[in-house]
Amino acid sequence: MFRKVLNDIYNAKNLDSYILFITVIVYAFFKVIDFFEFIDIDIDFSKYDSNLILSLFGVMAISTLKTRRADEKILDRINCNDEIFVHSFSPYFRENIKKSDKIRIVSVTLDLINLDEFESIFNDKLKLGHKIEVLLVNPFNESALDMASKRARWESQEALKNRIISNLDILSAINEENEVKISIKVVDFPLSYSAILVEPSKRKISNLIYMAHYPYKTEKVREPKHTLQEGFDSYFNLFNEELNNLWESGMIWEGAK
């Protein structure tokens, strides 16, 4: 215990609490001496009582703020899975998307979400003025489409093309019903993963990137998955930069021609 105190003081941790603790001990010591008149001390301790109480309240407030910050960090980690690679995302995945101010989806075919299920979520978010960005592989770029389709054992290039166009049509239909629009782009590049960047509306948790790898001709698809969290995962900034670069490289989708 004593070693921990010395270590905290050496590292400038909890200095406010230690200083107040020492002050209280010294103050109590002199109060006892004055009360039992062991030593004649010509000090009116009563006028210092209110100052000491205010100091105690101040330190309690600081400690509460520190505790809340620690709780927020714990909440941050709860939103992520401790395992690097997982079969499915955290239970907070859907809720984090619903409550976020902004999401950016970079994917071949919007396959990280069920669009039928998320259509209502997108509508609600647009009505609240939230920002939604979607970047898919260009269904009319034969080279990108060919390379993307070769990863799958179960889907032909033509089927993949039709699925991308169908998703783009659904997104365009959502835009027709809302004043705030989904920003839709396509890219001439065969993506090797699907990702969703989530920027929460309340900064109680950090930005998140949900990612799923596209394996080559395996029975399982969109696995493994992992979640990167800003401030916790060292590669968050790298993938965030890559998502930005992909978005900048994309072309605005103007519909099937």
Task: Using DSSP bridges, classify how beta strands 131-137 and 208-213 pair: parallel, antiparallel or unpaired.
Answer: unpaired
Q: Percentage of the chain with pLDDT > 70?
A: 66
Q: What is the pLDDT of residue 217?
A: 78
Mean of all residue pLDDT scores within the chain: 80
73 closest CA partner among 84, 65, 62: 65
How far does CA 111 lie from the centroid of its chain? 20
Nearest 5°: the CA angle 149, 114, 211 is 65
Retrieve residue 131's tokens.
């920002």
Helices 157-176 and 142-149: angle between axes, nearest 10 degrees = 110
Res 78 pLDDT > 60: no
160 versus 68: the higher-pLDDT residue is 160
Q: If pLDDT is split at 50, 70 and 90, which confidence band does 214 have?
A: confident
Res 85 pLDDT > 90: no
Report, as an integer, the average pLDDT of 36-43. 58
Report, as an integer, the average pLDDT of 169-173. 94
User: What per-residue string of b and e applies to 238-250 under the rule 16 or more CB within 10 Å gives b?
Assistant: ebbeebeebbeeb
Dist CA 113 CA 212 (whole Å) = 11
Q: Measure Cα distances from 214 to 67, 152, 211 in Å.
A: 41, 8, 10
42 versus 93: the higher-pLDDT residue is 93
Q: What is the pLDDT of residue 104?
A: 97
Q: What is the pLDDT of residue 216?
A: 80
Question: Residue ranges per domain, the chain?
Answer: 2-78, 93-252
Dist CA 254 CA 206 (whole Å) = 33
Assigned CATH for 93-252:
3.30.870.10
Q: If pLDDT is split at 50, 70 and 90, which confidence band does 225 have?
A: confident
Residue indicated by tokens 């001496």 = 33
Report, as an integer, the average pLDDT of 162-182. 94
Q: What is the pLDDT of residue 133?
A: 97
Res 32 pLDDT > 70: no
Residues in the chain: 257
Res 121 pLDDT > 90: yes
Report, as an integer, the average pLDDT of 234-240. 92
16 versus 107: the higher-pLDDT residue is 107
Res 246 pLDDT > 60: yes
